[in-house]
A = this chain, B = another copy of it.
Amino acid sequence: MEPLEFVSVLEASIQLWKNQGKKGIWIKLPIEHANLIESAVKQGFWYHHAEPKYLMLVNWLPGGSHTLPANATHRVGIGAFVMNKKREILVVQEKGGKLKGTGFWKIPTGVVEEGEDICTAAVREVKEETGVDTEFIEVLAFRQSHKAYFEKSDLFFVCLSRPLSSAIQMQETEIEAAQWMSCEEYAATPFVKKHELAKYIVDICLARIDGKYPGFSAVPTTSDFNKDKSVMYLDTKALYNK
């Protein structure tokens, strides 16, 4: 469709929608129709959100303040604390990012992908970065930061996982080094001593392993939004005395 034709259809439609008492109007424009965006903006539409292949525009016909739902505001990340029976922690050095070239050891971390469960992401990231199979046990803490990326916020979940294998097969593209390190040695590294979150992670995870700290385990539940399964994270031991 050409912009002139689009404007004519859009103007007529807006008049119709106004007469019908409609308020919020959404236009999802595939990237192939980028030529029509300017016309929609001239008709009062603004941007709601965008994904690689489309732009979602929105208009509030009554004018004034709207009650349209907000766009996504948070990126979600995980860190996986994996300790074996010899009290060795699985740690990596990253090839990129802020820690590049510092020689700092850290637990495997990563971003939760679209539609992925936190407990699944924890297992996936460890496998990808180190080749080690793990089982998710609990979320032990989380941190909310603001203005992390593009003014968006970040939620970082500290996960405890149990190793199911021990051989390390490093991801060459993102990881500089990976190894099992004794928890005493790791707790004494400069990174953990200086970095507040890393220190918290070690303290919390060791307390949990020693049975002194309760975490939230993952329980399947139903979603309010659709029939998909959701996951509830709560202290099931405390709630059910088991």
Residues in A lying within 8 Å of B, measured CB to CB: 31, 34-35, 37-38, 41, 46-56, 67, 69-76, 96, 98, 111-115, 117-118, 140-155, 196-197, 200, 203-204, 207, 212-214, 216, 221-226, 228, 230-235, 238-239
**Contacts A/B (CB < 8 Å), 15 sampled:** A31-B41, A47-B55, A49-B150, A71-B72, A72-B153, A74-B75, A98-B224, A114-B153, A115-B146, A141-B235, A147-B228, A197-B221, A197-B232, A204-B234, A207-B238
Complex contacts, A140 vs chain B, CB 8 Å: 234
Please determine whether B226 and A144 come into contact, CB atoms closer than 8 angstroms. no
What's the least CB distance linking A228 to chain B, in Å?
6
Task: Give the residue name and chain of the B residue nearest to A26 (CB).
Answer: B150
List of B residues within 8 angstroms of A222 by Cβ? 196-197
Is the Cβ of B114 less than 8 Å from the Cβ of A151?
yes
Q: Is the CB of A52 within 8 A of B56?
A: no
Contacts A144-B118, A224-B197, A232-B143 given: A47-B37 contact, CB under 8 Å? no
Q: A214-B235, A235-B213 are in contact. Are A76 and B74 (CB under 8 A)?
A: yes
- Complex contact B70–A72 (CB within 8 A): no
Q: A47-B52, A50-B71, A142-B216 are in contact. List 9 more A-B contacts (CB 8 A).
A: A31-B41, A46-B52, A47-B51, A72-B152, A143-B232, A144-B230, A196-B222, A204-B234, A213-B239
In the bound complex, residues from chain B placing their C-beta under 8 Å from that of A47 are 31, 50-55
Write out the residue numbers on chain B whose beta carbons fall within 8 Å of the beta carbon of A153.
72, 76, 114-115
In the complex, how many angstroms separate the beta carbon of A149 from the nearest chain B beta carbon? 5
In the complex, A37→B39 CA distance in Å? 12
Q: Assuming the A-B contacts A115-B146, A145-B230, are A76 and B73 also in contact, with contact meaning beta carbons closer than 8 angstroms in the complex? A: yes
Known contacts A146-B228, A147-B225: does B46 contact A48 (CB below 8 Å)?
A: no
Q: Contact between A234 and B200 (Cβ–Cβ < 8 Å)?
A: yes
A158 to chain B, nearest CB (A): 8
Q: How far is the CB of A40 from chain B (nearest CB, A)?
A: 8
- Check A56–B150 contact: CB distance below 8 A: yes
Partner of A31, one of B46, B49, B53, B155: B46
Report B-chain residues with C-beta under 8 Å of the C-beta of A233.
141-144
CA distance A98 to B157 in the complex (A): 30
Chain B residue numbers with a CB within 8 Å of A54 are: 47
